[in-house]
């Protein structure tokens, strides 16, 4: 007997259960909508399963391995440090499973219906959800598309046993002796640093003039210095030409400074960017316009050109950040519910979990000048902070960007330990319209890295306590 495909009606359909989709679904449900979320793979998307979370677990394991070797300067010596990489992978898996199961619990707790399958749009109010056994039609009043992105595969480097994307690198069963990383962006730098901490001989090939090109040179110089201390090699303005798998590894050919070079390694990791997943879900059937590079243009409420269909995360313009996707998901859910929520990216932080960590929020000094602001850039070094010295990790600085006329905080950049956590206070300062004086008058506990934020604010005011000159 053939079972008919009787359409199921929902208020809001969310396509994709990554950090954008599941957050949007929960917020929409909190606001009284009947919500169904569809995911073809695992709840949590790339971020929780094969991206942000497992990579940070791997980075932490790498740091612990590095620390385990001891520091003679502190009188700590160790011998015969070993890493059971299968245990590292097992622990990483437990972290991922705990979070993905937590997402499932949160969705169910908010009465969101979870559906497994692939979505294909039929028109601007319905989709087909297909799995291996059946096809089911869902009619929706509103839809939020959060399908994320996938790694870009470049010519000559087809993903295979020895040519890896970030997912493959995170699931290696052994620590490579040699690893070539193509692309010195945040993913390549983070994973390259992690494996360097495990003792891998890492070579990073970057096509541009510098790695981590979206950050200021003073910040990236610190990362390069640390990488070189870990015996990593960085080749900039290098064009990757091809990879040839051998019996026990891979040969990578690249061109730099007018010469063709070959390097052998156990694996090559390709991290040259990601492509939005907008090409196989039938957006044309719904009338949704897809622009340059497969990205969907949206308005300040994440709405596409089709008034009841929204798009968030890696499939819309902007840096592909998990927290950006979550933020956009909340705005879309609130807009559907009739609220006046709008996107404002000025307080959107960007973080690289390199060594040292890099973080930025708001304007850089140059961006502020280009935007027509008369600004003051005030720096305070980690080397003048007691907590950083006690951690034996004092490379780096905090740079505060303030408007000269009134001291308004409009940007900040941090290079140093715990930059990823410290940037939140400065994001709050920007969102709340705070001035350097507001930060300077806020008592920060001693001895903490957080004091560096207060000290930089005092530099901006021209009254620094722990630094001479005030510039």
Q: Among all residues, which ones are annotated catalytic?
A: 446
Residue with tokens 């798009």: 311
Alpha-carbon distance 433 to 19, whole Å?
Answer: 28
Question: What 3-state class would DSSP assign to 334?
Answer: helix
Find, among 351, 14, 378, the residue nearest to 186 by Cα: 351
Find, among 111, 129, 112, the residue nearest to 120 by Cα: 129
Determine contact, residues 237/207, Cβ cutoff 8 Å. Answer: yes
Number of helices (H) and strands (E), helices first, in the chain?
14, 22
Radius of gyration of the chain (CA): 24
Alpha-carbon distance 143 to 210, whole Å?
Answer: 40
Token couple for 2: 């053939």
Cα–Cα separations (whole angstroms), residue 131 to 13, 136, 286, 347, 443: 17, 9, 21, 40, 56
For residue 314, the 8-state DSSP code is G
Strands 126-130 and 135-145: antiparallel
Determine contact, residues 216/363, Cβ cutoff 8 Å. Answer: no
**Residues contacting 317, CB < 8 A, separation 6+:** 295, 297
């Amino acid at each position: 007997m053939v079972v008919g495909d009787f359409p199921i009606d929902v208020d809001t359909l969310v396509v994709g259960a990554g950090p954008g989709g599941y957050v949007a679904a929960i917020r929409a449900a909190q606001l009284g909508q009947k919500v169904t979320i569809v995911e073809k793979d695992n709840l949590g998307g790339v971020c929780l399963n094969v991206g942000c979370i497992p990579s940070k677990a791997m980075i932490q394991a790498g740091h612990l391995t590095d620390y385990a070797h001891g520091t003679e300067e502190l009188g700590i010596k160790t011998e015969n440090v070993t890493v059971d990489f299968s245990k590292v992978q097992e622990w990483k898996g437990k972290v991922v499973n705990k979070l993905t199961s937590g997402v499932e619990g949160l969705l169910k707790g908010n009465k969101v219906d979870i559906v497994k399958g692939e979505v294909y749009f039929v028109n601007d109010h319905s989709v087909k959800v297909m799995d291996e056994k059946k096809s089911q039609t869902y009619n929706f009043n509103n839809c939020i598309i959060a399908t994320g992105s996938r790694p870009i595969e470049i010519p000559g480097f087809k993903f295979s046993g020895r040519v890896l994307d970030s997912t493959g690198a995170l699931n290696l069963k052994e620590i490579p002796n040699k690893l070539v990383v193509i692309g010195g962006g945040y993913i390549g730098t983070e994973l390259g640093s992690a494996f360097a901490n495990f003792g891998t001989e890492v070579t990073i090939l970057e096509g541009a003039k510098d790695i981590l090109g979206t950050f200021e040179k003073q910040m990236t110089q610190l990362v390069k210095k640390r990488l070189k201390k870990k015996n990593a090699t960085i080749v900039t303005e290098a064009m990757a030409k091809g990879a040839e798998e051998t019996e026990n590894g891979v040969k990578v050919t690249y061109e730099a400074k007018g010469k063709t070079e070959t390097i052998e390694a156990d694996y090559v990791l390709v991290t040259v960017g990601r492509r939005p997943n907008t090409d196989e879900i039938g957006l044309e059937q719904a009338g949704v316009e897809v622009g340059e590079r497969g990205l969907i243009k949206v308005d300040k409420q994440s709405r596409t050109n089709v008034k009841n269909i929204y798009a968030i995360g890696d499939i819309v313009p902007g840096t592909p950040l998990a927290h950006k996707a979550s933020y956009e998901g909340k705005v879309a859910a609130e807009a559907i519910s009739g609220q006046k929520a709008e996107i404002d990216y000025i307080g959107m932080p960007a973080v690289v979990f390199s060594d040292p960590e890099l973080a930025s929020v708001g304007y850089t000094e140059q961006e502020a000048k280009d935007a027509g602001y008369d600004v003051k850039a005030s720096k305070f070094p980690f080397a003048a902070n007691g907590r950083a010295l006690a951690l034996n990790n004092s490379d780096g600085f905090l740079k505060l960007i303030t408007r000269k006329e009134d001291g308004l905080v409009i940007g900040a950049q941090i290079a140093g330990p715990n930059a990823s956590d410290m940037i939140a206070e400065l994001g709050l300062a920007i969102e709340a319209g705070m001035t350097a004086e507001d930060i300077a008058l806020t008592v920060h506990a001693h001895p903490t890295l957080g004091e560096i934020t207060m000290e930089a604010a005092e530099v901006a005011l021209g009254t620094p306590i722990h630094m001479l000159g005030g510039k």
